[in-house]
Chain A
Amino acid sequence: MKWNTRALAATGWGYALAGSAIAATTAVLWLTQAVLNLGSIYLVYLVAVVAVAAWGGGRAGMPAAVLAFLAANYFFISPRFTFTIADPQDILALIIFLALATGTSGVLARLRAEAAEAHRQTQAVAALYAQNQTLQDTATQAEVLRRTDALRVALLSAVAHDLRSPLAAIQVAAGSLLSRRFTWSAADQQAFLTMIVEQVAHINGLISNLLAQDRIEAGQLRPHKELSALGDVISRVLDRLAGRLADHPVAALISSDLPRIPFDIVEIDEVLTNLLENAVKYTPPGTPLRISAVRDGAMIRISIADRGPGIAAEHLPYLFDRYYRVHAGDNGGSGLGLAIAKGIIEAHGGTITVATPPDGGTVFTFTLPIPRATAEPIAPALMEEASR
């Protein structure tokens, strides 16, 4: 058998406990022996052995049983101070005591070991559970970080791409004006410079839109509203997107009785651009688009309808959520366009909805409120009169 130092130390401690406990018991019994018979002495020793076994386990209980057996024999069974026993009755009693003491001590030691093992297992399970929980928390955090990172990268690359085309147009226009290869007419120069100014405004709009995202998140989108004609904005967007819309016949139905209403031209331009670009991106070439703006009570209702494959019902509730993308595989979108559109429209006091009519296609509809004051057009002269 191999003994290591720890086992040896434990055994030593067991003997020491057994020795001191039985010595103390013997001393107490010696002092009180006048009032005790032999049976009581055995019982007291038995209690001592059981106590030692309960406290110190088998390593202490067994030696305590043997020591108690020897001490009882030596100190209390005649002839005293010898290990010889005169009365056969005493021999039997002592053997029964030894059996009882070792047996009890053994059972107690086993129970104690089992209890310790059960406790250890409980602890181990608790530790494993805690560890697992920590791992799960860490994994969730890592996943969130990974996804946030992936989204940030996708967003940045989408933004970079969106910015570089108008920048390239500016650079080509400015470079053409500067190049020694060309001698442009005054009209050409004017056209190039106008284009540069327009593209700068377009880039600025893109950047504002990007910043709007953060403001939407913080719920503090504040449109810079100016009294404007919605039809003009729609026409401008359609002109700007003419190239992208080339493969789709576009019908624009702008009601002639629309009042001028206060809205942020850049933001509504962005919403319209986003909805039209989506329509182009997700419908087959050749399918028609229809954009309409009509008065509906105290609001103007703008709809963009396509005749594409529509959107599966399961996507509809999440369509305006940030980063939600129906076409997960395509690298075109950041999943922010519709969320930004919703933020912008709601900041204007309107609503935006999507529907998939039974006869096919997808219809995005948003509303912009007509304030009471602007519901009826008022002549500027009259307004001046009123303010005096």
Chain B
Amino acid sequence: MSNHAKFILVVEDNVVLRAMIVRALTEQGYLVLIAGSFRVATDQLAVKPALMILDINLPDATGWDVAAWVERHVGTVPVILISGDTPAAKRLERLHPLAFLPKPFAIDDLLDIVEAQVAPSGKFGA
């Protein structure tokens, strides 16, 4: 583990869904930053997140755009994709996310994947 706290960036424009995901993650001891758009997401990326939970449909761009921007400016960050639409197989292959969770998904499924990737900051300490 590195010395600074690891955090998860949740990029989702549906406020209610985002709030629910964030509530579950923080309850599990994760540090979470949120964004509802491409622009806000890029503002939040001054520090490299340990994981991104990324919605594909955003008001000002797509989750693919966010992933491409992160790859270019921040480095490789594991991604869990969430979407109400089924993404094209080619794009999924190129991005190679940890998982694609079609909406609606079970919170336990999301947390299983998150836990396998990142240890909660609250439990490990900084």
A residues bordering B, Cβ < 8 Å?
157, 160-161, 163-173, 175-176, 179, 181-182, 184, 188, 192, 195, 198-199, 240, 242-244, 246-247, 280-281, 285
Contact = CB atoms under 8 A, between A and B. Distances in A.
Nearest to B28: A181
Given A168-B84, A195-B20, A243 B106 contact: no
B14 A246 contact: no
A173 B24 CA distance: 9
Contacts of B21: 172
Nearest to B39: A285
A168 B14 contact: yes
Interface string B20-37: 110110011000000011
Contacts, number: 94
Contacts of B85: 157, 160-161
Interface in B67-90: 82, 84-85
Contacts of A184: 27
B18 A175 contact: no
Given A164-B103, A281-B59, A169 B17 contact: yes
Nearest to A162: B84
Contacts of A179: 24, 107-108, 111
Interface of B: 13-18, 20-21, 23-24, 27-28, 36-37, 39-40, 57, 59-60, 82, 84-85, 102-108, 110-111
Contact of A172 (B13, B37, B60, B107): B107
A84 B82 CA distance: 112
A125 to B, nearest CB: 50
Contacts of A172: 17, 20-21, 24, 104-105, 107, 110
A171 B105 contact: yes
Contact of B17 (A168, A198, A246): A168
Nearest to B20: A172
A169 B16 CA distance: 6
Contact of B84 (A160, A175, A188, A281): A160
B16 A181 contact: no
Contact of A175 (B14, B28, B106): B106
B24 A182 contact: yes
A165 B103 contact: yes
Contact of B23 (A168, A171, A176, A280): A176
A347 B24 CA distance: 44
A157 B110 CA distance: 24
Contacts of A175: 106-108
Given A165-B84, A181-B28, A243 B105 contact: no
A274 B103 CA distance: 23
A184 B107 CA distance: 15
